[in-house]
Every structure is written in structure tokens, then in C-alpha cells.
């Protein structure tokens, strides 16, 4: 006899599927969500899809639209700026806290991530660039003195940052400047100077903010002229 899938499993499947589509930019900001199409893609009813969308709404990833409809939430300029400002403070704190504790071997691993990013640029692989960029930034959380206190805060913020980080790293010039910023952070780490480490990280995030604003709210014609990692 065929076993029906557990409700909990179906709900989680729907939630994770839609969330991945949003964070990977397969569903764009402001795009209306076709619940019937998503349900058909997953071969499930619309009920768990609606439950997933309500859950994503509580997380700020979707918003209601019309009679029972949903759209991917579009951040305003002010909200995007605030998100990066908070990230700057948090990551600045993390590297300041970690800079005296992080082993030399871990700093060398950060350099390996940079080399991996440079190889990914040569191979025109935007997914690999994103992977190494994420590994680089995640490292400092592990060596922070108060990592257990900051884990939940950072985890929630990272989900909102993902799509903007991916969007910007898709452009070749921005990816190269991001790597240059990582190299400066490593030089700061080698001094073990907390003030310098925090300054370089916060400057790096502020540069990322400028890039995200340019990509998200910039002139479409100008963006079309920018060389992409993967054409």
C-alpha cells in the first residue's frame, strides 16, 4: 500500500523550495508567486504552499498582494542601506573579537579561499565565487568570543543578504574588487590589530553596500554594459 507523505515533510519541502527560489534569485524581487504552478512543480496541493508563503512572509521574504496573493518582498533603498549598515557593525565586531584568537593556519585558509575565488573568476564560475566569498566571511564567526550569542542574529541577517551578495558577485569588476577587499582584510589580520581589522571589514561591507545599491536601484542601461562573470 502506498504511504502518503507526512504533512510536516510536505510543509518543509514547500518552504525550502520556495525559499531557495527567492534566495537564489530565480524568483525576483516584486515577482508575483504563482501558487498553482509551484504546487504542480512539487506535485503537492496548494495548502502547504500557502502555509510556506505565510511562514516566509513572517520572515520578511514575501509580502501579500491582492486577494490571497503573494509577491517576493522588494526592499526599499532605505531598508537595503540599513541591512548593510547592520551587517557592517556585526561583521566588524566579529573580526575585532576574532583577530587575536584566529590561528595563523586559519589565516592561510582564508588566503586559499581568495585563490579559489581568483580561479573561479578565470573559469567564469559565479557559483564558486559566491561559495568562497561565503566561506571567507563565515570564518570570523567561529573565532568570535561570543559566537553563541551572535549566531541567531547573523543567521537571520545572512538569509536576507544572500540574494544581494549573489547579484553583485555576478559582475566581473565587482567580484575582482571584492577579492581585493579580502586581501586587505588578511593584511589587517596579520597585524593582530583589532582597530585596523574592524576598520577594513567595515569598509569592505560599505563597498559591498554601494555595489548592491548600484545593482538593485541603478540604471539598467549602465548595468547592461558591465561585464559579467558568466556571459
The domain limits of the chain are: 7-72, 77-224
What average pLDDT does the chain have?
88
Say yes or no: domain 77-224 is CATH 1.20.120.530. Answer: yes
The domains spanning 7-72 and 77-224 adopt the same CATH topology: no
The string of pLDDT tens digits covering residues 85-109 is 999 999 999 999 999 999 999 999 9
Alpha-helical (H) ranges within the chain are 7-23, 35-42, 46-58, 77-98, 104-122, 126-142, 147-169, 172-191, 194-217, 220-224
For residue 3, pLDDT over 60 is answered with no
CA distance 186 to 201: 10
The fold for domain 7-72 equals: Arc Repressor Mutant, subunit A (1.10.10)
Express each pLDDT in 26-42 by its tens digit. Answer: 898 899 999 999 999 99
The yes-or-no verdict on residue 131 having pLDDT over 80 is yes
Q: Is 77 exposed, middle or buried (0-12, 13-18, 19+ CB in 10 A)?
A: exposed
Whole-structure pTM value: 0.83
Amino acid at each position: 500500500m502506498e504511504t502518503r507523505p507526512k504533512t510536516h515533510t510536505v510543509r518543509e519541502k514547500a518552504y525550502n523550495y520556495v525559499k531557495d527560489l527567492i534566495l537564489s534569485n530565480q524568483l525576483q524581487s516584486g515577482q508575483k508567486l504563482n501558487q498553482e504552478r509551484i504546487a504542480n512543480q512539487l506535485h503537492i496541493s496548494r495548502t502547504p504552499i500557502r502555509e510556506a508563503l505565510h511562514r516566509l512572509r513572517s520572515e520578511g521574504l514575501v509580502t501579500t498582494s491582492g486577494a490571497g496573493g503573494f509577491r517576493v518582498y522588494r526592499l526599499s533603498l532605505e531598508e537595503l542601506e540599513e541591512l548593510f549598515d547592520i551587517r557592517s557593525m556585526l561583521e566588524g565586531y566579529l573580526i575585532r573579537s576574532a583577530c587575536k584568537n584566529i590561528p595563523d593556519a586559519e589565516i592561510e585558509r582564508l588566503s586559499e579561499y581568495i585563490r579559489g575565488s581568483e580561479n573561479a573568476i578565470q573559469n567564469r564560475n559565479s557559483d564558486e565565487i559566491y561559495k568562497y566569498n561565503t566561506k571567507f566571511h563565515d570564518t570570523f564567526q567561529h573565532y568570535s568570543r561570543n559566537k553563541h550569542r551572535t549566531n541567531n542574529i547573523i543567521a537571520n541577517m545572512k538569509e536576507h543578504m544572500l540574494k544581494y551578495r549573489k547579484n553583485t558577485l555576478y559582475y566581473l569588476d565587482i567580484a575582482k574588487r571584492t577579492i581585493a577587499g579580502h586581501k586587505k582584510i588578511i593584511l589587517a589580520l596579520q597585524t593582530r590589530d583589532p582597530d585596523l581589522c574592524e576598520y577594513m571589514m567595515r569598509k569592505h561591507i560599505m563597498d559591498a553596500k554601494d555595489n548592491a545599491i548600484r545593482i538593485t536601484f541603478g540604471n539598467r542601461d549602465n548595468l547592461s554594459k558591465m561585464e559579467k562573470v558568466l556571459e
